[in-house]
Amino acid sequence: MRRPLLEEAHQWEGVEVGLIGVPFDGAVSNRPGARHGPRHLRDQSTLMGQVNHQTGARPNDLANIADLGDVFIEHPYELNAAIDDIEAFYDTVVKAGIVPVTGGGDHSITLPIMRALAKVHGPVGLVHFDAHCDTGDELFGHKQHHGGPFKVAGEEGILDPKRTIQIGIRGPTEPMWAYSYDSGMTVIH
Query: pLDDT tens for residues 115-171?
Result: 999 999 999 999 999 988 888 887 777 777 777 889 999 999 999 999 999 999 886
Higher pLDDT: 1 or 157? It is 157
CA 129 to each of CA 117, 134, 167, 170: distance values in angstroms, whole numbers, following the listed order: 20, 11, 5, 11
End-to-end CA distance of the chain: 32
Q: Is the pLDDT of residue 27 over 70?
A: yes
Rg (CA), the chain: 17
Q: CA torsion angle for 137, 177, 160, 155 (degrees, to 10)?
A: -20
- In single-letter form, the type of residue at position 161 comes to P
pLDDT at 120: 97
Residues near 139 by beta carbon (within 8 Å), at least 6 away in sequence: 29, 145, 147, 148
Neighbours of 43 (CB within 10 A): 9
> How, if at all, do strands 186-188 and 159-167 pair?
parallel
Threshold 0.85, pTM exceeds: yes
pLDDT at 165: 97
Classified as helix, coil or strand, 188 is strand
Strand partners, 65: 17
Q: What's the longest Cα–Cα distance across the chain?
A: 51
Tally: H helices and E strands in the chain: 6, 6
Query: pLDDT grade, residue 26 (50/70/90)?
Result: confident
**189 and 165 Cβ atoms separated by less than 8 Å:** no
CA distance 126 to 186: 10
DSSP 5: B
Q: Is the pLDDT of residue 30 over 90?
A: no
